[in-house]
């Protein structure tokens, strides 16, 4: 029985190396997710808020300027979601519809120590949909 373990030296000691490699890969993926998920979540929150602002801006009663109202609402959402200050915001009224367009890019550290940075680019145009657009 002891001779059997001596005849296969290449089979001993590899479990520790495999564990360290798998653990390193899992830690790199966890770090990437930890840095990327909040940026993607903020972008999706902004996208949802843009859609809501455009629809509610279209339904404003009275003599309120819908374009300025939509701009103010989207700017508040941009500040609360941590969107870069150099983001481009364009709100236009085309006939009886309002469109909002936001463009920005934000660097995301995918690998630790700044070894690789992903440039997250957000480019979305919100237009009203639903019952307010039916004629």
Question: For 24-82, how does the pLDDT look when each residue is reduced to its tens digit (9 = 90+)?
Answer: 999 999 999 999 999 999 999 999 999 999 988 888 777 788 899 999 999 999 999 99
Residue holding tokens 């930890």?
34
Q: What is the DSSP annotation of 81-126?
A: TT--TT-EEEEEEETTEEEEEEEEEEEEEEEGGGTEEEEEEEEEEE
At 60, list the tokens: 């404003």
Query: Within a 10 A sphere around the Cβ of 99, how many other Cβ atoms?
Result: 16
pLDDT of residue 131 exceeding 70: no
At 1, list the tokens: 């029985």
Residue holding tokens 């940075």?
117
């Amino acid at each position: 029985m002891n001779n059997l373990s001596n005849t296969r030296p290449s089979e001993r000691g590899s479990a520790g190396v495999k564990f360290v490699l798998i653990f390193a890969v899992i830690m790199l993926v966890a770090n990437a997710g930890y840095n990327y998920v909040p940026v993607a979540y903020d972008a999706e929150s902004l996208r949802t808020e843009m859609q809501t602002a455009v629809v509610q801006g279209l339904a404003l009663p009275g003599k309120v300027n819908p374009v300025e109202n939509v701009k103010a609402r989207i700017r508040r959402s941009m500040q609360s979601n941590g969107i870069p200050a150099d983001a481009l915001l364009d709100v236009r009224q085309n006939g009886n519809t309002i469109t909002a367009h936001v463009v920005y890019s934000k660097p995301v550290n995918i690998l630790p120590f700044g070894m690789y940075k992903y440039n997250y680019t957000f480019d979305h145009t919100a237009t009203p949909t639903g019952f307010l657009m039916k004629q």
